[in-house]
Chains A and B, each alone.
Chain A
Amino acid sequence: MALKFPGWNFLRKHWLDLMLYLAVLALAVTGLCLLPVFFSSGEAHVLNINVDGTIVKTVDLARQQEEEHFEVEGTNGPVTIGIKKNAAAILASPCPEQYCVRMGWVDDGRPIVCAYSHVALLFVSNGDVDVIL
């Protein structure tokens, strides 16, 4: 599409609008420059095991060569936790809905939570990402 020069009359009539457009454009460009574009690398490997608001155990999953199972005492009975290299799971819990168990092994930093037992497996942020959805 060819653009035609609008002519001086047009400019005289609409200079205020044009200034406004330019100002808005400048603001948008400034906003664009301020927006940081980041590239993430690395995963969260340190796991905090939290029972009823207190951290009861911290493990470095990067160093966990063997798969290991152990129990913590949740608010409604024992909860079995599994850890292996770079992954963790709630393997058994007395909760009725079993959402936590159904999550299976998690290796991407998502928290594993059993609300019924008040047990949470929280991956510590590696400093690169603040929130994982």
Chain B
Amino acid sequence: MKKSSLLFTLSLGAVLGLFSCGGTADGSSSPVLSQPWPGEMGGNIDPEQSTTFAFDTLLYITTYHGETAVHDEIIDTLQKLDSLFDPYNAPVPGLTSVYSLNNAGGEPLAVDPLLYEALQDALEAEEATGGLFNPLIGKATALYKEAFYGEGHEPYLPDMDEVQSFIEEASGSSLVLGENYTVQIQGGAFIDLGGIAKGFALDKTIEILKSHGVCDFLIQLSGSSIGLGNNPERMDQGGTFRVRINTYVGDNDHILSARFNGLSTSATYEQQVMFGPDRYSHIINPQTGSAVCPNDIGVVIGDIESNAMLDAFSTAVCLTPGENLAALDESLNEKGYDVGLFAMKDGEDVYLSDGFEISGVELP
């Protein structure tokens, strides 16, 4: 089948500040593209890919110049974060985690500095999204998780009164971050960092890559948080990575090309459960308790070093009806987050930020 192409034409680069140009050292006219930190780009390509299972999914790390030790450091960090963020299982010995906090009966605990930093990001994300991300809806999330995906029974809809009581408890609770990494949950709610966990893990991965001067990389924490470095295999295309956004319904896929960007996706199809015509998913509206999103796919592109925020924003995009997405876009950019948003529903485009360039895909 053939499909129309180039649906949107505005410069992603101009808006997100991806590109800056200059002559090459040898005086030829090909552009030298900006990079966010010093390091080698291009050169001899010797791709190295590692995978690890964490956050209930598969994570891939690809670098291009045989940086094995860097991979090991990244995997150790990802595994540690997986344990720190797990609300359902006790942490590995020596760590104080989300599970520890949820089971502390409201007492303050000194947590791992990484978890403390993630909780700071969680509060920032809550503020930035106007409450469309809330780190304290852990009880409602657990209730849905058991109802939809629990062992030994068919998916069922949870008692909505119970969901509501948890949502009210969450909005009446607060997360108090004190000195010396002390954290206290006031009000009985439980923490769940699912909405920023992979984004935060990507931020820590990027920090490690940056500290080693690695610029050529592709990090995929499943499809949900993706770190696009420079792509040495496409230097003829400006070092960009080509990302295909799947429609799932119909054939309205899109391609975006980007480099030195973070990319976050939230999709209801990933873990969907159908009840009648309604598609329920793991994405829960912290304001209403509903697990039905107005959009099927939310994609957010932005700064390579702000993936925890992008992760929360992609959830917010899924949860925001089409007519309100322009306002969300404007509000996030006014708050200083340099982001582009894209949303789809039933295979149709719902919203695309000005300056976010994607093209239609021609399928064979």
- Our verdict on whether A and B bind, yes or no, reads yes
What residues make up the interface of B, taking CB atoms closer than 8 Å to A?
5-6, 9-14, 18-19, 21, 31, 50-53, 56-58, 149-151, 218, 220, 222-223, 226, 228, 231, 234, 237-238, 240-246, 255, 257, 263, 265, 267, 270-272, 299, 357, 359, 361-364
5 extra A-B contacts, CB within 8 A, seeds A40-B361, A40-B362, A41-B364: A37-B9, A131-B228, A131-B241, A133-B263, A133-B265
Per the bound structure, the CA–CA distance linking A132 and B224 in Å amounts to 11
- Enumerate A94-133 residues with CB–CB distance to B below 8 Å: 96-99, 102, 108-111, 113, 115, 118, 120, 128-133
Which residue in B242, B267, B271 is a CB contact (below 8 Å) of A130? B242
Query: Top 10 A-B pairs ranked by shortest CB distance?
Result: A31-B13, A97-B149, A96-B151, A28-B14, A32-B11, A31-B14, A131-B243, A130-B241, A113-B58, A129-B244
Chain B residues, Cβ within 8 Å of A28 = 11, 14
Collect the chain B residues with CB atoms within 8 Å of residue A113's CB: 57-58, 222
- Residues from chain A with Cβ under 8 Å of B238 in the complex: 34-36
Chain B: which residue is nearest A42 at the CB level?
Answer: B364
Which residue of chain B has its CB nearest to the CB of A31? Answer: B13
- Given A27-B14, A34-B19, A35-B12, also A131-B58 (CB < 8 A): no
Residues of B within 8 A of A98 (CB): 149
Whole-angstrom distance between the alpha carbons of A129 and B6 in the complex? 16
CB neighbours of B57 from chain A (8 A): 113, 115
Q: What are the interface flags for A48-89 relative to B under an 8 Å C-beta threshold, 1 for contact and 0 otherwise?
A: 001011000000000000000000000000000000000000
A108 and B58 form a contact (CB under 8 A):
no
Q: How far is the CA of A133 from the CA of B190 in the complex (A)?
A: 30
Contact B255 A38 (CB under 8 A): yes
Of A35, A36, A38, A115, the residue contacting B53 (CB under 8 A) is A115
Are B357 and A35 closer than 8 Å at their CB atoms?
A: yes
